[in-house]
């Protein structure tokens, strides 16, 4: 099975990039603790993602992605993070969430 990458894109609100980065780094630490192989945070510099922040989460394979997504749904720290985010002012607009197979 091929490695997979889950890619999520947010368009930050004006002046809110620091808060979005803090949120992404907090989430990154949580998912790495649960077993995601690697997480990259990228800034869109050209094309359709200019002004966006992107998070790529790497998984060993699609089965690992499914297993970890199930674990996220049951993890108390992830649930607390999601609850906290739901009560905070919106600092970014969700653009997309996709899953890709990595071809080597």
**Residue 73: which CATH number?**
3.30.70.100
Residue 78's domain comprises 4-101
In 3D space, the residue among 9, 10, 54, 56 whose CA is nearest the CA of residue 37 turns out to be 56
**What average pLDDT does range 26-41 have in this prediction?**
96
Encode pLDDT of 62-97 as tens digits: 999 999 989 988 999 999 999 998 888 889 999 999
Q: How far apart are CA 70 and CA 33, in angstroms?
A: 14
Q: What is the pLDDT of residue 1?
A: 67
Q: What is the pLDDT of residue 88?
A: 82
In the chain, alpha helices (H) = 17-34, 62-74, 76-86
Residue 57 burial (CB count, 10 A): 22
C-alpha triplet 15, 22, 14: angle, nearest 5°:
15
- State phi, psi for 38 to the nearest 5 degrees: -160, 150
Q: How far apart are CA 23 and CA 91, in angstroms?
A: 10
Q: What is the pLDDT of residue 89?
A: 85
Could you tell me the two tokens for 36? 């995601």
| Mean pLDDT over each residue of the chain, to the nearest integer | 93
Q: What is the pLDDT of residue 91?
A: 93
- Which pTM value belongs to this model? 0.89
Q: How many domains does the chain have?
A: 1
């Amino acid at each position: 099975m091929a490695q997979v990458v889950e890619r999520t894109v947010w368009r930050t609100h004006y002046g809110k990039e620091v808060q979005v980065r803090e949120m992404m780094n907090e989430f990154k630490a949580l998912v790495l603790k649960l077993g995601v192989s690697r997480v990259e945070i990228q800034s869109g510099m050209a094309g359709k993602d200019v002004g966006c922040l992107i998070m790529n989460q790497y998984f060993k394979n699609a089965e690992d992605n499914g297993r970890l997504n199930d674990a996220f749904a049951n993890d108390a720290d992830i649930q607390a993070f999601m609850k906290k985010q739901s009560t905070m002012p919106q600092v970014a607009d969700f653009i997309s969430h996709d899953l890709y197979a990595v071809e080597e």
